[in-house]
Structure 1
């Protein structure tokens, strides 16, 4: 397993490669998303966070995932269009991926290793689970689906104020 957050890469929905090294010095919120999920209104809440804090150094990466009751069945293009049309999403929506199992995106394997869930489990339990990474690449926290994005404001503000 790679030892540092900034050594990973993943595909964007257009097929191009995105390197997490581009996020150095930023606070990053990583979320597995699904447009057919009952929690999909969190797209709008995430967009509000992004609009409020992006200029201060917050980046949000949404990773569509179809591993939870097939709630993200669309193509990458359809997912992007849905996010834009219904929630005005301007943060990065990445290529659909897996977050659990042997074919999980390596970045997600790293995040789960750094911040195991409740009772030490190392799997994502549902859509819209969130990982918050500080400006130095340390995984600061992991938040369940039930934690609303606006409830992360305190942690985000704390990390944004921290020295780089």
Structure 2
């Protein structure tokens, strides 16, 4: 199965085009995010490989500052592109790439929360520009009717995301909206 998804940025001019592909139980996402802030244009590309439970196996992100490659072993150990173990990322299952709403789908799909349920998780946060990588705590709450409350616990930021039946973000208020 192959699916093309597009989002428009709402704060500054920008778009994302993502190809979501499922084959033989492996889910992959390849995306290009283009946009600009303060007169600067930017381009970020990323590749995600996920297992059938939507757990990250591999993530690669590239922007003007370089490239980050991370691998998550079946036992949950994270390694960089050179195979070096990253103990600071222990306990992280998902990734959150700052420039995309797509990575919110990973915990939504993986956790399978019933309406009214919530879960606190640790994720690998990848900030672009800069390609800074760090663990962060987040909480997702299924509000029902295709709505999830997302909370970044260290900063206090929260938003109610609207998702489709597949858990893919339709609207991230003030930041992103899916387009046809």
TM-score, normalising length from structure 1? Answer: 0.29
Higher strand share goes to which structure? 2
The structure whose RCO (Cα within 8 Å, separation 6+) is larger is 1
Higher helix share goes to which structure? 1
Which is higher, the Rg of structure 1 or of structure 2?
Answer: 2
